[in-house]
């Protein structure tokens, strides 16, 4: 299955140098009429509506190239799902521009749909009462997938996602992990060049999570599928994505390779020292004591201003030390820091 065969239609091939996904000042404001109860209330709401506005996406500009694997992260209510819904053509943007493979999704919804696969972890796209195979058959008819290609991809999915045991069970009887695998297969049966995954590993156990991670990593690597992944599990992101887009209050506050965000925030390192005896309130010049637990103390220092070798010398001169380790901040810690303290990347890198 060469990549060219699965490329996103003629318009995309024409603009091969244009990014696959482009948004410019994309905005979405949810406008909800305040509801009044009952039929008469509904009529009243129709004729003299009272609106409440909520800005979900507040001017988002980004460009995504073919074959990228983006971690799209941000706190609850940041506007991630809303963005994905605009990219998929579910929602019409309130302002700004969006183009996916040369198509404006909400204008040419059906054309766009051929290029994309979508998995919403929160909500299945499968038919509740049908066994997985029936849903797949229906999708085959919907996308007009030729019988031989259908068989080939389905067999591959059954093997990769280990779905053999529950293919004929009605979806409503499947466990969450089984259902999610079914959802993945359903989203990819037509071999879309773009895949949107909105919290696809939510509520899965470690084994199922790993199966799905391996699967998407492979799809991205071998088929060049462009993937946008939304998740609160930063281990997913760390494992799979090269680039992250971090949004908060509907605005992108960071967009770049994972290494960069780590570098900017990774100025802080932790020196973990294990003493040979209980030591209360140890000190090292140039480092801040974070905690002491039994014989282990944790010091935080700024990598840019303090030299590690000096700190190590300093601590071993002063105390009797059994073991020393230096911890790099994990993505999780960095992101937690940004969610609580706000992002200050601009000032820092300036």
Ligand X SMILES: Nc1ncnc2c1ncn2[C@@H]1O[C@H](COP(=O)(O)OP(=O)(O)OP(=O)(O)O)[C@@H](O)[C@H]1O
Which residues contact another protein by CB under 8 A? 30, 32-33, 35, 37-39, 42, 45-46, 81, 85, 88-92, 106, 109-111, 113-114, 116, 118, 120, 122-123, 125, 127, 129-130, 134, 137-138, 140-144
Among the listed ranges 75-83, 185-193, 200-208, 259-267, the one in contact with Mg ion (CB under 5 A) is: 75-83
Nearest distance in Å: CB 262, another protein: 30
Q: Which residue, 81 or 306, has its beta carbon nearer to Mg ion?
A: 81
Binding Mg ion (rule: CB under 5 A), the pick from 26, 27, 81, 93 is 81
Pairwise CA distance, residues 157 & 155, whole Å: 5
Dig out the tokens for 350 from the structure.
């300036």
**Cα maximum dimension of the chain:** 82
50 makes contact, choosing from Mg ion, ligand X, another protein, none, with CB < 5 to 8 Å by partner type, with none
List binders of ligand X among 36-95 (CB under 6 A).
54, 56, 74, 76-82
Q: If binding is defined by CB under 6 A, does position 164 make contact with ligand X?
A: no
Q: For the sheet with 116-120, list strands across it.
A: 116-120, 194-198, 226-230, 69-73, 243-248, 251-257
Angle of helix 147-160 versus helix 206-223 axis, rounded to 10: 140
Q: Which residue, 139 or 297, has its beta carbon nearer to another protein?
A: 139
Nearest distance in Å: CB 80, Mg ion: 5
**DSSP assignment letter at 170:** B
Q: Which residue, 111 or 183, has its beta carbon nearer to ligand X?
A: 183
Nearest distance in Å: CB 82, Mg ion: 8
Pairwise CA distance, residues 66 & 42, whole Å: 46
Pairwise CA distance, residues 284 & 275, whole Å: 14
Pairwise CA distance, residues 6 & 16, whole Å: 14
Contacts to Mg ion by CB under 5 A: 81
């Amino acid at each position: 299955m060469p990549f060219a065969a699965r490329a996103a239609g003629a318009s995309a091939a024409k603009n091969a140098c244009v990014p696959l996904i482009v948004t410019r000042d994309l905005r979405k404001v949810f406008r909800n009429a305040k509801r009044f109860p009952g039929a008469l209330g509904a009529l009243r709401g129709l004729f003299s509506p009272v609106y409440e506005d909520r800005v979900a996406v507040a001017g988002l500009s980004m460009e995504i190239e073919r074959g990228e694997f983006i971690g799209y992260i941000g706190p609850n209510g940041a506007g991630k799902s809303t963005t994905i819904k605009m990219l998929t053509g579910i929602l019409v943007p309130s302002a700004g521009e969006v183009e996916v493979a040369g198509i404006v999704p909400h204008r040419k919804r059906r054309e766009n749909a051929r290029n994309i696969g979508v998995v919403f972890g929160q909500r299945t796209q499968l038919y509740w009462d049908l066994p997985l195979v029936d849903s797949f058959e229906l999708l085959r008819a919907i996308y007009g997938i030729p019988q031989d290609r259908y068989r080939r991809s389905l067999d591959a999915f059954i093997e990769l996602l280990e779905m053999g045991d529950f293919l004929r069970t009605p979806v409503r009887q499947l466990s969450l992990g089984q259902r999610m695998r079914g959802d993945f297969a359903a989203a990819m049966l037509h071999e879309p060049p773009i895949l949107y995954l909105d919290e696809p590993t939510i509520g899965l156990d470690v084994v199922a999570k790993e199966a799905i991670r391996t699967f998407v990593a492979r799809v991205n690597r071998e088929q060049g599928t462009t993937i946008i992944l939304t998740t609160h599990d930063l281990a997913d992101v760390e494992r799979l994505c090269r680039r992250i887009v971090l949004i908060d209050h509907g605005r992108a506050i960071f967009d770049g390779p994972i290494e960069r965000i780590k570098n900017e925030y990774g100025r802080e390192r932790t020196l973990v020292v294990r003493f040979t005896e209980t030591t209360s309130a140890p000190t090292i010049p140039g480092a801040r004591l974070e905690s002491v637990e039994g014989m282990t103390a944790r010091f935080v220092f700024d990598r840019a201003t303090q030299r590690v070798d000096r700190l190590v010398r300093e601590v071993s001169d002063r105390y009797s030390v059994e073991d020393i380790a230096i911890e790099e901040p994990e993505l999780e810690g960095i992101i937690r820091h940004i969610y609580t303290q706000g992002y200050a990347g601009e000032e820092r890198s300036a």
